[in-house]
Amino acid sequence: MSYNTSAVGSGSRNTTRTFEFGRTHVVRPKGKHQTTIVWLHGLGDKGSSWSQILETLPLPNIKWICPTAPTRPVAIFGGFPCTAWFDVGDISEDAPDDLEGLDASATHVANLLSTEPADIKLGVGGFSMGAATALYSATCHILGQYGNGNLYPVNLSAVVGLSGWLPCSRTLRSQIERSEEAARRAASLPILLCHGSGDDVVAHKHGERSAQALSSAGFRNLTFRSYNGLGHYTIPEEMDEVCNWLTTRLGLDGSWS
């Protein structure tokens, strides 16, 4: 699936970028379908890597949708192309945000969720850059719109981010404070963030600061978990935490029919 986005550059000339998303892998629920979660992989990865992990989790009521990001030049790799949800040159609070890329990926996530049945709870999660995109989707849901002003069409019930960071953190609090509806949504949206203290790709401090930025912006239903010595990968203990948290927050009953 592809998206065309237009951006105004210097002067009056418009530039258009097309994002071609890769293959989407779906893990069907083994029991009664109660929730659908779009799960986003990390930089340079693909959806099939995580679909194989998610298929093994003891969560029979969840349908997992694992898309693959577009292949694009990435600044942090000197412009070398790889799968990426958006462009990134530096992981820090002061780095510029690729709003065009973030909006395209958040739109792709919302489109994947928008065709689910009305009685199904919806969520988004991810690892590393996928976690960053999931958190950006969460802020779009809270604000009711993407960064480009277009309406955000789906209602999220849970957000999970592993070893990630929060894009656009500098302006989030002021945006939410301008809207009572956004503040109400922020206060009620369940978010789980997990991060390893030994992460040498996305430093633990970025996960911690992201959690602090979300809390200060009014996200009261936020859980932040640190894992001593964990690097930039996941372990069974962390996935057990995800399973338990999703079961509790989404009211999953484990039923098979």
pLDDT number for residue 16 = 60
> Tens of pLDDT along 208-233?
999 999 999 999 999 999 999 999 99
Per-residue tens of pLDDT for the chain, all 257 residues: 655 554 433 333 445 678 899 999 999 999 999 999 999 999 999 999 999 999 999 999 999 999 999 999 999 999 999 999 999 998 877 778 999 999 999 999 999 999 999 999 999 999 999 999 999 999 999 999 999 999 999 999 999 999 999 999 988 989 999 999 999 999 999 999 999 999 999 999 999 999 999 999 999 999 999 999 999 999 999 999 999 999 999 999 887 76
User: DSSP string spanning 113-176?
Assistant: HHTS-TTSEEEEEEETHHHHHHHHHHHHHHHTB-TTSPBP-----EEEEES---TTHHHHHHHH
| Residue 182 host element (H or E) | helix 180-188
Residues 6+ apart with CB under 8 A from 239: 53, 57
Distance between CA 73 and CA 167 in Å, rounded? 19
Residues forming a β-bridge with 65: 26, 38
**What is the reported pLDDT for 2?**
55
* Angstrom distance (rounded) from CA 199 to CA 244: 23
Catalytic machinery residues: 128, 199, 232
Q: What pLDDT does residue 153 have? A: 97
- β-partners of residue 62 are 35
- Which residues on adjacent β-strands are paired with residue 18? 4
| Bridge-based pairing state of the strands 35-40 and 121-127 | parallel
Q: Dig out the tokens for 4 from the structure.
A: 């065309």
Q: Nearest 5°: CA angle at 216, between 239 and 166?
A: 50
Q: Please, are residues 35 and 157 in contact by the beta-carbon 8 Å criterion?
A: yes
CA 105 to chain centre: 9
Structure confidence at residue 90 (pLDDT): 85
User: Integer distance in angstroms from the first to the last C-alpha of the chain?
Assistant: 33
d(CA 237, CA 123): 21
CATH for 25-250 is: 3.40.50.1820
Half-sphere exposure of residue 51: CA atoms within 13 angstroms, side-chain side: 17
What does pTM read for this prediction?
0.93
